[in-house]
Chains A and B, each alone.
Chain A
Amino acid sequence: MKMASLTGRAAVVSFALLFSFLLAWHLATRGSGTAQHMDPEYAKLMGATATQGKSAMPGPIDVGVKLWEHLRRPFYDNGPNDKGVGIQLVFSIARVLIGYLLAMLVAIPVGFLIGMSPLMSKALDPFIQVLKPISPLAWMPLALYTIKDSSLSAIFVIFICSLWPTMINTAFGVASVRREWLNVAKTLEVGTLRRAFTIILPAAAPTILTGMRISIGIAWLVIVAAEMLVGGTGIGYFVWNEWNNLSITNVITAILAIGLVGMLLDFVLARLTRLVTFPE
């Protein structure tokens, strides 16, 4: 018998794992039948958890049904506390992209400066070392106080957390451009600006893009927490709102959506990285 390809075999294992997980989930959350005989009125009051041993945790089928509902109507809007998952995701993605792009506009030039100038590298290092480990959410009160707008504050938090990986990677990439390539530019009397765009930028691009990929990952992690704090709109707010509604089904649906969007963002950046990577 011919052996299937590695991808094919991996897919089989993946499906087997998924199936066993769903099965285990289903078995763990299904009801155990009538637990005790009680007055029907009282049973109604107690709900399925007490009367049938049904777990409060929704099973995969409940989640699947809910997911299908959301997929059919992702963009409905029934007022502030009842919006489709699609709308909430669009809000979150928009905040992430605005904060992230603003961060790139700052991080890449500053990273260039640090990478090219040993003086600036030494001078800015203490600031970066202190600012980098600060949890982005710690900025939230300060942002709310100064900006006085919850949505802009969330964008600011995204901006701050996207800054560091890209800046540090850009500085590293720029500083470690091979001397021989710089020497080529020198012997050809290439000016500083042209050298930055034709030698340093392409040489450092793979490292810069790797930093940008780490940044978008962190930004997507942080937006959920930030939106839980500021409220109003966004997938993070949706998760917290559904928790307050005790709709675990919706929470699980949202978790799945967060994972898928995060994967998509990472995929896009991985593609871009591959575009600028050169074989040596």
Chain B
Amino acid sequence: MSDRFISIEGIARRFPVPGVGTTTVFEDLWLSMLRGEFVCMIGHSGCGKTTVLNILAGLDAPSNGTVIVDGQAIEGPSLDRAVIFQSHALLPWRTVIGNVAYAVSSKWRNWSSVQVAAYAQKFIDLVGLKGAEHKRPAELSGGMKQRVGIARALSIEPKIMLMDEPFSALDALTRGTLQDEVRRVCQETGQTVFMITHDVDEAIYLADKIVLMTNGPGAVLAEIVENPLPRERTRNEFHKHPLYYATRNHIIDFLVSRSRTFINETRGTYDPRNVAVVCPGLPEPAIARTYDTSAKPNRGQQFAAH
């Protein structure tokens, strides 16, 4: 299909384990993304989310399958795909502008230092760090560091931004502000984003599609949730939308119980190339099964056991 900007085709990742043979983190994962789409991946620790992101970044290679970005198979890291690291990964011996300029001069190697500095400055202004250009990362707060990370990623004008739990180390207030910033910047620039998160609200606020992973090892992509909220949503209003709770409950139900039972329940019928696309609020089969009354007491017990 030509409308697939990014196409993950049947990737799996296995690690050798001494004495046991190999362990499979996730298996036969198929996923496609459109240009300008914001996709969030949610799953418990150990389901291989970060490995998927590292494969997309080219920092890791799949044991099986390929990833195609804009018509080309991934063969290692590329300036087309920028990564925002969870630990921000700024170079502590460089200033704010030095960190962004390092990325800019890596992309445009024959630019003069004046050109590089001016271009880096543009992105520092964009993330609201004007005035802090000459500070070192050690002098910045966690939120400001992550802003530098975002400026650095944006400055190379990537085809896709990969974010590995970018806000998880921040306090709630800073996280909210940065989510707004990322949303604004991505909408302004039409950026394609793949983001990993643990935060359901963050996913609902930011994402167009939310990808749910079952528990690892041997994780599979269980379903894709289409965000039913309108694209123009605000932080103050989005949780008042009539479909907000349906979406939230669906994801939480998945994380609490179905992420464990999904593989057994769908044995024989699960097709990795054609996973269920769920749009909360509409009578989808996946939802009907989740809300099946006969399953409720059972789920309650499992929840109590947590």
Contact = CB atoms under 8 A, between A and B. Distances in A.
B163 interface: no
Contact of B102 (A178, A180, A186, A188): A188
Interface stretch (B82-90, B122-130, B187-195, B293-301): B82-90
A98 interface: no
A280 B91 contact: no
Interface string A167-203: 0000000000010110110111110000000110011
Given A188-B106, A189-B78, A202-B93, A278 B59 contact: no
Contacts of A184: 85, 89, 91
Contact of A279 (B85, B89, B107, B136): B136
B203 interface: no
B103 interface: yes
A187 B84 CA distance: 10
Contacts of B89: 178, 180-181, 183-184
Interface string B89-119: 1011100000000110011000000000000
Pick from A183, A184, A279 the residue with the most CB of B within 10 Å: A184
Interface of A is mostly: helix
B77 interface: yes
Contact of B77 (A180, A189, A199, A280): A189
Interface residues of A, number: 18
Contacts of B78: 187, 189
B83 A183 contact: yes
Interface string A239-253: 000000000000000
A8 B91 CA distance: 39
A279 B137 CA distance: 8
A199 B91 contact: yes
A188 to B, nearest CB: 4
B138 interface: yes
A183 B89 CA distance: 9
B166 to A, nearest CB: 13
Contacts of B57: 183, 187
B81 interface: yes
A3 B37 CA distance: 66
B218 interface: no
Interface of A: 178, 180-181, 183-184, 186-190, 198-199, 202-203, 276, 278-280
Interface of B: 57-59, 76-79, 81-83, 85, 87, 89, 91-93, 102-103, 106-107, 136-138, 156
6 contacts: A183-B59, A183-B85, A184-B89, A187-B78, A187-B82, A198-B102
